[in-house]
Amino acid sequence: MHYLEHLVEKEEKGTITEAESRLLESFFSNEYQSAEWDGEQMGKKAAVSAEIYTQIKKRAHFTKSWTSYIKYAAAALVALTVGAGILLNAKINPKAITLSTAANIDSVKLVDGSTVYLAAHSSFRYPQHFTHNIRAVTLLKGNAFFKVAKDHKHPFIITSGAVITKVLGTSFYIGLNNDQVRVKVITGRVQVCWGKQMIFLKPTENLVFRPGEGLRKVQTQ
């Protein structure tokens, strides 16, 4: 199942999260429409868009309005593939593991070599195996330090509440308390997204997200 298809089906069932809903909205953003398409590496743009549309229709029944919606989504995803690095054949691994801590701290080494250090009273979900072109995990609550293994071909994407953080290989901290998210970069470069808003962080830079305020850089604490 394509990543876009997964989100659309969750939207249809009413099980989509706020962060996933915002990501789905971003697929329709004009922000990526001017992105350059590498035909040699990715295939013909029209063919890829048609394939996504065909695969989505095979697995779900949509009204006429939804059919038009999905056609546009397929075209938007082609552009987003270049602009945001979410690759076309990424799949969601259903065999996810949830690691939760009480008063203790814990750590887990992921299959790609990345290490996540989880603070007390925190919860983190990750797949047993990353599939195809994306390394997707979720910080459900609390605080975590990520030391991400470098892999320029497979972006590492963390969902934390309404915020999505994307890296290729770096170390950084994410805190999720209620609806507030804090990101602090130690090494490398991090891209943080909320809806159409996107901010890049460098080492020692700090960012906070609050509902109603969006993403905002703050002084390092």
Residue 192 lies in a domain: yes
One domain for residues 109 and 145: yes
Domain boundary (55, 84, 113) is at: 84
Q: Do 11 and 24 contact (CB within 8 A), yes or no?
A: yes
Residue 91 lies in a domain: no
Domain boundary (30, 62, 84) is at: 84
Extended strands (E) in the chain = 96-100, 106-109, 115-118, 123-127, 135-147, 156-160, 163-167, 171-177, 180-187, 190-194, 197-201, 206-210, 214-218
One domain for residues 170 and 200: yes
CA separation (Å) from 94 to 59, 76, 179, 186?
Answer: 17, 25, 25, 31
One domain for residues 120 and 162: yes
Mean pLDDT over all residues of the chain?
Answer: 73
Query: How confident is the model at residue 195, as a pLDDT?
Result: 87
One domain for residues 108 and 37: no
Q: Do 45 and 74 contact (CB within 8 A), yes or no?
A: no
Query: How confident is the model at residue 89, as a pLDDT?
Result: 35
One domain for residues 109 and 188: yes
75 or 163, higher pLDDT: 163
Residue 90 lies in a domain: no
Query: How confident is the model at residue 119, as a pLDDT?
Result: 92
One domain for residues 69 and 106: no
One domain for residues 100 and 194: yes
CA separation (Å) from 213 to 172, 179, 206?
Answer: 22, 12, 16
Which of the four pLDDT bands, split at 50, 70 and 90, describes residue 180? very high
Residue 39 lies in a domain: yes
Residue 80 lies in a domain: yes
| 116 vs 219: CA distance, rounded Å | 25
| Structural domain count of the chain | 2
Query: How confident is the model at residue 42, as a pLDDT?
Result: 42
One domain for residues 144 and 204: yes
Mean per-residue pLDDT, 189-211: 92
One domain for residues 72 and 44: yes
Residue 51 lies in a domain: yes
Mean per-residue pLDDT, 159-174: 91
One domain for residues 115 and 35: no
CATH code, 159:
2.60.120.1440
b/e 108-128 (16+ beta carbons within 10 angstroms → b): eebeeebebbbeeebbbebbe
In a 13 Å sphere around the CA of 25, the CA atoms on its Cβ side amount to 13
Mean per-residue pLDDT, 180-195: 92
| 166 vs 172: CA distance, rounded Å | 11
Angle at 79 between CA 76 and CA 80, to 5 degrees: 85
Domain boundary (52, 84, 116) is at: 84
Residue 89 lies in a domain: no
pLDDT in tens, 62-118: 444 444 444 445 554 444 443 444 333 334 445 789 999 998 889 999 999 999 999
Give me the domain span that covers residue 185: 96-218
